[in-house]
Structure formats: structure tokens, C-alpha cells
Amino acid sequence: MRGSIFSLLFLFFSLTAYSQKSKEILEKRKLQLQDEIGMANIILRKTQKDKLLTLNQVRALDKKVAARKELIITVQSQIKNSERKIFRTRKEILKNESQIQVLKNEYASMIKEAQKRGKPMQSWAYVFASDNIQQALKRVYFLKQYVGFRENQVDEIKSLQLEKIEKILEAEREKDQKKILLSQEIAEKKTLTKEKKDRERAVNALQKKETQVVTRIKKKRSELQKLEKQIQKIIKKELARQRNAARRAKKNTKNQGASDLTEYDLTPDGSALAKDFSDNKGKLPWPVKRGIITQNFGSNPVPGTSGVSIKNPGVDIGTPRRSKVRAVFEGEVSTVVRIPGANRVVLIRHGNYFTVYSNLEDVFVKTGDEVKGLDDIGTVAADSETGESTLHFELWINTSNQDPGPWLNH
């Protein structure tokens, strides 16, 4: 029996803790989505002369619509959580009322029993009527226990009544919270409808300029291919330098030759750094303090065109103007170079892992500098025509570029 009670108590507290954690997770995600929508609004501020949305702004609008949809789902989940809490609180109030009634009934029975015994003097007569001193002491003890039990009953009834009042207030607060969440859901749905119409108009406008859009995409493809080749070339040189350093280190070791070195062998320090970097997959900070991914890794369809897509070797992150760019992990600056179409590019080595930060205007580091995670390395450049600020970020393992998305902390 005792084991069953402990099991039920454990289950109750576990469910309560889970419910609280779920509430906190939903609230955190809600704030993240609201920040993403706010970032999209910054990017969508029109600065170009014709007042038509650019391709990048349409992508930001897509992100905004997607974030708004998820925000509505999150609010709906919060409403369900609120409804469950109200239901549980009502059950607890009913249980509380039942316990109060049981105690009141018991107390009423005790009062009736006391009335039968008469006045306190009669209670003492009950003691004096004992056959011996031992029996008298037992009767005194019994009367004290009886009076104490009655007093405890009164205290317990008062305590349960206060608890009931608190539960009623809690249910009322949760009802008010539910009303607020329902209002938010209605407002978000209205905004979503407007944003979908904005996107439709923007895509229609791009379709009318499809030829110009396709021409720009071809130019962008060419720039990305040049950037990719240049990065590969730099990385190969860097890996060769590390391999030679590892070879020299092994030559100085008596019991081991250099013949077993592979193409990507690292020095002990390089291996340790690479392991640390790998262990932080999914935990790396974003290369900018605030931003949204406007173009994902891999193939991206181009809005307003008939089946045209562009392959992205990294991710494009829209940011507020003049945003500072920061290293996502400790390492050494392998190169700082200016590449046409990508402005300034900084490549940082983390063992045989490399992170690439392109479209920088100002650069605060130089080749050979040691950097720590979150160190500022430059600022994002703004497009001279549209005013848009977009950081192009890449992540490489040896000479293969990877999707940075799973590596960044979301």
C-alpha cells in the first residue's frame, strides 16, 4: 500500500515538473520566433528606389511567413497547456472540497460526542471515577489527546480552506492567461494572412522581371563557384602545411617514421583542436549576434522563376546593417582575402575543420592571428543598391564543404 502511494506521488510530481518544463520550452521558442520575425522585418525595410522587394527580401518574407506559422502552432500548444492546467486545478479544488467536507463531518461528530459528555467538570469526574491511579493517568492522557485532535482538525480545515482559495485564484489566473493567448492567436492569424498576400504580390512582381532575375542568378552562381574554388585552393595549401608540420614532428620521433602519414594528418595540437570542434557540433554560436538564414545550404529554388534554383555551398544570414561578425570557435586565421562578388573573406582553421566568413566590409584580424570563440573578426558589408546586409558562412571538413545548419546552436 505504502509503495503504491509513493508511486502515485512520484508520478504526480514528475507530471508537474514536465508540465512546467514544457511551458518554459514553449515560451522560449515563442520568444525565438518573435525575434526571427523582428529580424525579417528589419531586412524587409525597403531601401531600393523602385520600392519592389528584392530576391533576398522575398526569401526573408518566406522565413517570416514560416516563423509566423510556427508561432501560431506554439501559441496553440500554450493554449492546450493552459486548458490542461485549468482542468487539473479544478480537479484539485473538487478533491480539496471533498477533504474539507470529510473533516467537517468528523469534527461535527466529535462535537456531538463532547456534548454527550457534558461540561469539563464532568470530564474530571470521569477521571476521578477511576479505580486506581494508573487508570486515572490513562484517562487524563486520553482526554488531552482528544482535545488536541479536535484542535488539529480545526487547523487542518482552515489550512485546506486556504489551499482551496489559492487553487481558485490559480485557476482564474490561468483563465486570464488563456484569454490573452487566444487573442494572440487571432492576431497572429490575421497578420499571417496579410503576409501571405504580401509574398504573393512580391513573387508576381519578380515573375514580371524573371529575365533580370535569372541573369542575376547566373552571375551569383559564377561568384559562388569562384569562391568555392578559391576556398578549396586555400584549404589544400593549409592542409599541406599541416601535413608537413606533422611529418617533421614524426621524423623527430625515434620509433616512428613518416611513411604512414595520410593526406590529412595533423599535429597533436591540430588533432586536439579538431576533436574539440567536432564535439561541439550543434553547440556552435552563430557568426552574428542577430540574424535569420535567408538561404539554406544546398539547392534553393528561386522565387518568381520557372524551376530555377541556385546551389549554396554554405548559408546566407540576413543581419542588421553594420553587424559585427564573430568567430564560432577558437582557431587560427588562415587567410584574409578579397574576392570579387564576396567582398572580404576570412578563413579560420580549427584543425582539419575550417569556417569561412564572406561579404565582410571591415576586417579586424590578419593571417596567422589566434582567435577565440565569439571574438569579433569584422563587420558585414551592405549592398550599395538595396542596403541589405548578408553574411555568407561556410563550414568545411578537409576539402569538403558541409551544411553549417546542424553545427550551429538553435
| Per-residue pLDDT band at 50 (split at 50, 70, 90) | very low
Q: Which residue has the higher pLDDT, 201 or 298?
A: 298
Q: Which of 325, 386, 387, 331 is nearest to 354 (CA)?
A: 331
Q: Under 8 Å CB-to-CB from 341, ≥6 apart: which residues?
A: 219, 220, 222, 223, 226, 227
pLDDT per position as a tens digit, 324-352: 999 999 999 999 988 877 789 999 999 99
Most confident of 235-249, 298-312, 359-373: 359-373
pLDDT of residue 149: 58
**C-alpha span between 18 and 308 (Å, rounded):** 46
Say what the alpha-carbon torsion angle 102, 106, 107, 110 is, to the nearest 10 degrees. Answer: 180
Q: Which CATH number applies to 12-208: 2.40.360, 1.10.4100, 1.10.287, 2.40.50?
A: 1.10.287
Give tens-digit pLDDT for 356-373: 999 999 999 999 999 999
Report domain extents, the chain.
12-208, 224-407
If you average pLDDT over each of 124-128, 219-223, 259-263, 319-323, which comes out highest?
319-323
User: At residue 405, does pLDDT exceed 80?
Assistant: yes
Higher pLDDT, 377 or 86: 377
**In the chain, pLDDT over 70 holds for what percent of residues?**
69
- Name residue 310's amino acid: I
β-pairing, 309-312 with 331-339?
Answer: unpaired
Which pLDDT score, from 0 to 100, does residue 371 have? 96
Task: Tell me the β-bridge partners of 309.
Answer: 301
Query: 3-state SS of the chain: helix, strand, coil percent to 5?
Result: 60, 15, 20
Nearest to residue 70, comparing CAs of 16, 23, 32? Answer: 32
Most confident of 56-60, 78-82, 179-183, 390-394: 390-394
Span between the terminal Cα atoms of the chain, in Å: 46
Total H helices, total E strands in the chain: 6, 12
Higher pLDDT, 364 or 101: 364
Most confident of the following: 125-134, 237-246, 359-368: 359-368
Report the alpha-carbon distance of residue 41 to residue 198 in Å, rounded. 13
Backbone CA torsion sign across 43, 45, 46, 47: negative
Residue 326 has a pLDDT of: 97
Long-range contacts, stretch 185-191, CB < 8 angstroms, 24+ apart: 185/72, 185/75, 185/76, 185/79, 188/68, 188/71, 188/72, 188/75, 189/72, 191/68
- What per-residue confidence (pLDDT) applies to 140? 57
Q: Give residue 403's pLDDT.
A: 95
Contact indicator for 325, 379 with CB cutoff of 8 Å? yes
Reported CATH class of domain 224-407:
mainly beta
Q: What is the pTM of this model?
A: 0.61
Average pLDDT, the chain: 76
Higher pLDDT pick, 141 / 328:
328
Q: Mean pLDDT across the stretch 115-138?
A: 57
DSSP label at residue 383: -
